[in-house]
Amino acid sequence: MPKFKTVFVCQNCGYISPKWAGKCSNCSSWNSFIEEVESSEEKNAKKSVSAKPGSPVAINDIVQNVFLRMNMHFSEFDRVLGGGLVPGSLVLLGGEPGIGKSTLVLQSVLNLKNTKILYISGEESETQIKLRAERIGIHNTDCFIYTETNIEKILATIKSITPDIVVIDSVQTVASADLSSSPGTVSQIRECSRQLQEYAKESSTPVILIGHINKDGDIAGPMSLEHIVDVVLQFEGDNNHFYRLLRPKKNRFGSTYEIGVFEMTNDGMKEISDPGNILLSGDNTGLSGVAFGTIAEGSRTLMIEIQALAGNAVFSAPQRNATGFDSRRFQMLLAVIEKRLGLKLVQKDIFLNIAGGLKINDPAADLAVISAVISSYFDKPIRENSCFIGEVGLSGQIRPVSFIEKRVGEASRLGFENIFISASQKSEIKTKVKGVVAVTDIKDFASKLLK
C-alpha cells in the first residue's frame, strides 16, 4: 500500500511547503497554496534516476537540422511564431476566457492542406466543436477531434494516429492518473506538459497547448510551464472589442518583438495586415482630453488613442485611475506635469483610458498621455491632426524613443500633420515628412499643444 502525504503547493511557482501559508515565501504571491496529495510511490518514482552514463556530443559534430517550418494558414500567426511552426516544438497559447484561443487554433488547422491534425479538447464536446468548425469553414478533412482529459489515453491515441500537429485545448483540463491531485494544479500541468514535450521532441511533432490566464495576466498555475515550453504566445484584446493581438512572450525560434493583429468576425478570425489605425475610435474633432500616440512592436507600428478625464476631486484623496497603462508610470507623469507646469492636479480626480481596450507599456506613449491630461485639465482640444511620440523624463525633458523614423512615417501616412517628437531625434528623420515638431521639454511642448 503506498503511503499518502499531503503537501501544499504554490500554484504560481510550484514551491512545496509542508504547511499551508497565506503568502508564498518563494514567489511572494498571496493565497496560492493548494493542498495536494503525494503518495510515497510518486516520491520514489521521482528518485529513481537511471545511473547509466550518457553520451555527450562534441559541439562540432552536431549536425544541424534545417527545420522546415509549417505554415499556420494565417501569415500573422506565422510571423509571431518566427516564420511558422517548428517541428517538435511545444507552443503555449494563453489568453483570457472567450478571447478566441480555440477559434484561432481550430481555424488555422482547419485551413491546412495535407496535414493530419489531432485536436484534443477537454472543454467542449465533439458537436460543439463541429458547430464552431462549420461556422469558420472546414477545408481540411484530415482533422480529428478527440474529447479526453486523461493524458495517458491522449498520448496512446496520439501515438496510434501519428498526427502532423497536436492541439491540446486546454492544458488545465488534462490530468495524469498517476498523480492524485486534480486537473489544473501545478503538479498535473507540469507532469502532463513534460510528457507532451517528451513526445514532441522524440517524434518531431509540434504540440500546441492552449492555456487560461489568471487575474494577474499570467498563464494560470504554471510559471514553471513557461520554462518547459519553447514558445509562449499571449492572445489579448478586450471582449467588448473585435480586434485581437497575438504577442510572443517567449520564443526559442524567433524574435519576441513581433505582434499579430486579428479581428474577430462572425465567421472566425480575420487577419489584419495593415492595422495602422484600427485602434482609433473615429472622429474626435473638438473634443478635449483625447491625444494620439504610437506603439512600435517589431515590424508593426500602431496608432493609439489616449483619453484622459480630469474632474474635480470628490474625496480629499484624489483618484488616479489608469486602464491599459501602468498606473505607477501614470502617477509619475502626473507628478511631472504638476511640478514642471505648475498645474494643480491635486484637486482633480484623473482617469486615463487607452481606447480599444489595449494594454500598452511603450514609453513612447508618455507624451500622448501628458497631452491628453493637459487637454482635459484645461478642457480645450489639442491642435487638430496631432500625434505625440516621446518618452518624458522626471525633469520634464522629452527623451528619444526607438524606431522613431518608422513611427513618424506611419503617423504621416495616416494623415497626421503635427507630429511631436524629441528635439534630439530630429536629425534621425531622413525621409521628408511634413509637420514634424521638435520639442525639448514639457514647458516648451505645452505652449505648442493646445489650440
- When CB distances are held under 5 to 8 angstroms depending on the partner's kind, the choice from ligand TYD, Mg ion, none that residue 94 binds is none
Give me the 89-128 binding string for ligand TYD, x by CB under 6 A, dash otherwise. Answer: ------x-xxxxxxx-------------------------
When the beta carbons of 235 and 403 are compared against ligand TYD, the nearer one is 235
User: Among 131-139, 156-164, 287-295, 357-365, which window interacts with ligand TYD (CB under 6 A)?
Assistant: 131-139
- When CB distances are held under 5 to 8 angstroms depending on the partner's kind, the choice from Mg ion, ligand TYD, none that residue 98 binds is ligand TYD
Among 135, 249, 380, 406, binds ligand TYD (CB under 6 A): 135
Radius of gyration (Cα) for the chain, nearest Å? 26
When the beta carbons of 165 and 437 are compared against Mg ion, the nearer one is 165
| φ, ψ of residue 77 in degrees (nearest 5) | -65, -45
Minimum Å distance from CB 131 to ligand TYD?
Answer: 8
Pull the grid cell for residue 109: 488547422
When the beta carbons of 101 and 247 are compared against ligand TYD, the nearer one is 101
Q: How far apart are CA 228 and CA 195, in angstroms?
A: 11
Minimum Å distance from CB 233 to ligand TYD?
Answer: 12
**209 closest CA partner among 72, 93, 97, 129:** 93
Minimum Å distance from CB 165 to ligand TYD?
Answer: 17
Give me the 220-259 binding string for ligand TYD, x by CB under 6 A, dash otherwise. Answer: ----------------------------------------
- Count the residues of the shown chain that bind ligand TYD, applying the rule CB under 6 A: 15
Q: Are 212 and 81 in contact (CB under 8 A)?
A: no
When the beta carbons of 97 and 137 are compared against Mg ion, the nearer one is 97
Among 11, 12, 71, 102, binds Mg ion (CB under 5 A): 102
User: Among 113-121, 130-138, 298-306, 390-398, which window interacts with ligand TYD (CB under 6 A)?
Assistant: 130-138
Q: 288 in helix, strand or coil?
A: strand
**180 closest CA partner among 304, 50, 35, 302:** 35
State which H helix or E strand residue 399 sits in.
strand 398-399
CA pseudo-torsion sign 69, 132, 129, 356: positive
Question: At 133, which amino acid appears?
Answer: A
Q: Are 368 and 399 in contact (CB under 8 A)?
A: no
Q: Is the peptide bond before 25 cis (omega within 30 degrees of 0)?
A: no
Identify any residues that bridge with 10 across adjacent strands, giving them in sequence order: 33
Q: How far apart are CA 306 and CA 371, in angstroms?
A: 9
Q: How far apart are CA 60 and CA 39, in angstroms?
A: 45
Does 184 bind ligand TYD (CB under 6 A)? Our answer is: no
Minimum Å distance from CB 264 to ligand TYD?
Answer: 5
Give the DSSP letter string of 202-253.
HHT--EEEEEEB-TTSSBSS-HHHHHHSSEEEEEEE-TTSSEEEEEEEEETT
Residue with cell 500541468: 189
Q: How far apart are CA 176 and CA 171, in angstroms?
A: 12
- When CB distances are held under 5 to 8 angstroms depending on the partner's kind, the choice from ligand TYD, Mg ion, none that residue 135 binds is ligand TYD
Among 69, 132, 249, 270, binds ligand TYD (CB under 6 A): 132
Minimum Å distance from CB 357 to ligand TYD?
Answer: 15
Minimum Å distance from CB 175 to ligand TYD?
Answer: 19
Q: Are 206 and 88 in contact (CB under 8 A)?
A: yes
- When CB distances are held under 5 to 8 angstroms depending on the partner's kind, the choice from ligand TYD, Mg ion, none that residue 266 binds is ligand TYD
Identify any residues that bridge with 263 across adjacent strands, giving them in sequence order: 243, 270
Give me the 54-93 binding string for Mg ion, x by CB under 5 A, dash otherwise. Answer: ----------------------------------------
| Near ligand TYD in 258-317, by CB under 6 A | 264, 266-268
Residues that bind ligand TYD (CB under 6 A): 95, 97-103, 132, 135-136, 264, 266-268
Residues that bind Mg ion (CB under 5 A): 102
